[in-house]
Each structure stands twice: as C-alpha cells, then as structure tokens.
Amino acid sequence: MLIGGHSHVGVLHRFAMKPLPGARLAVICTDTDTPYSGMLPGYIAGRYAFDEVLSTCAGWPNLPGARYYRDEVVGIDRGAGKVLCRNRPPVASDALSINIGSPPQLAGVAGAAEHAVPVKPIRRFNERWLALLARICLASQADCHRRRQGRGGRCRTDTGHAIPSAE
C-alpha cells in the first residue's frame, strides 16, 4: 500500500484481526500522522484541535505481518515487482494499492486559486487553513481600523467571530 489512506487503515485492521498466512503488508507514506478528512469539518468549526483529527501510522509496524516505511515513493518497477523510494532500497511487491491523494484542479474554477482552501493534498491542509485564517484576521483588523478612522464607531469583527477559535 502506498501512502496510507484511510481505506488502508481498514485493510490493516482487518489484516491484523485475521492475517493471511505468509502474507506481509508494507505501507509507504511520507507522513507518520495525517489528517482524517472526515473530521476536518469539525476541526474547521472548532470542535476538534488539529491533533485530534490526525490518524497515525506509527503503530502500524506493531501489527502482525505489517511494515511501515516513512519515505516518498518515486517510482514503480512493474517488471521487477518493486516500489522505488527516495531514501531506502526498493520494496518488493506482488500487488499494490495506491492512494494518490489527487489535488483539485483549481485553475479550472474562476477565483478558486485565490479564495479556496483545498483539502488535497491533505498533508498541507492545516498550513493552508491557518494561512486563510491569518488573512481573514488581517482583513478584519484593516476593516476595523478604517471604521474607527472613518466613522469613529464601534468596530465589529463579525468575520473573525464566525470562525470559532481552535484553542
């Protein structure tokens, strides 16, 4: 299995409960912890801290017949039955299950590149989300400053209040 997606977690769990004699599973993934996309709406709403939405691969080596390699896959040699990694020797494979985490094509949607926060690739989602929150906070502060100067009235930062704090 390449890039341990959430369907792979289910496969590993089933394999651990009822291993196939002589079979071994290898998971190759660049990250030890990855956000579970099903919990991201709760994270965005402030119901979960980021650490709570992470699924970890760290315990996978302890499963019977399973191996976890933290590395980046750079190629597949189908003829030799090997998965090529950036930092380790090739990993032998009879069959593959590949999770590619396809990123969205933002260029095809007007305004998406400037205003959307794509979930995929998921490993960088939190960085993009926090950058959006920072932009909103800066825009709210600038608006607040303009309102104070222009009308002298009370500043309201409704946008900042609409997105709950993840504290």
Note whether residue 167 is domain-resident.
no
112, pLDDT greater than 70 = yes
**Whole-model pTM over 0.75:** no
Closest to 37 in 3D by CA, of 55, 58, 56, 11: 55
How do residues 52-71 score in pLDDT, each as one tens digit? 988 777 666 667 777 888 89
Structure tokens, 136: 């909103």
User: In this predicted structure, what is the pLDDT of residue 137?
Assistant: 78
> For the ranges 33-37, 124-128, 143-147, which has the lowest average pLDDT?
143-147
Closest to 50 in 3D by CA, of 116, 152, 130, 146: 130
Q: How confident is the model at residue 88 (pLDDT cuts 50, 70, 90)?
A: very high
Task: Give the CATH number of the domain where residue 40 resides.
Answer: 3.50.50.60
Closest to 32 in 3D by CA, of 65, 59, 62: 59
22, pLDDT greater than 60 = yes
Mean pLDDT of 12-27: 82
- Which of residues 21 and 155 earns the better pLDDT score? 21
84, 77 contact by CB (below 8 A): yes
3-state class (DSSP) for residue 67? strand
> For the ranges 10-14, 77-81, 88-92, 145-149, which has the lowest average pLDDT?
145-149
User: In this predicted structure, what is the pLDDT of residue 64?
Assistant: 72
User: In this predicted structure, what is the pLDDT of residue 2?
Assistant: 55
Is the domain of 85 the same as that of 158?
no
Note whether residue 1 is domain-resident.
no
- Which of residues 105 and 161 earns the better pLDDT score? 105
Is the domain of 17 the same as that of 86?
yes
Note whether residue 97 is domain-resident.
no
Closest to 106 in 3D by CA, of 121, 124, 84: 121
Is the domain of 21 the same as that of 81?
yes
71 Cβ contact partners less than 8 Å away, ≥ 6 residues apart: 28, 29, 30, 85, 86, 87, 88
User: In this predicted structure, what is the pLDDT of residue 74?
Assistant: 93
123 CB-contact burial (10 Å; exposed 0-12 / middle 13-18 / buried 19+): middle
- Which of residues 167 and 51 earns the better pLDDT score? 51
84 Cβ contact partners less than 8 Å away, ≥ 6 residues apart: 73, 74, 75, 76, 77, 90
Token pair 């959006």 is at which residue? 132
CA distance 120 to 156: 33
User: In this predicted structure, what is the pLDDT of residue 156?
Assistant: 31
147, pLDDT greater than 50 = no
Domain boundary among 92, 116, 140: 92
113, pLDDT greater than 70 = yes
Output the CA torsion sign for 37, 38, 44, 47: negative
Name residue 85's beta-bridge partners. 73
**Which residue range forms the structural domain that includes residue 28?**
6-92
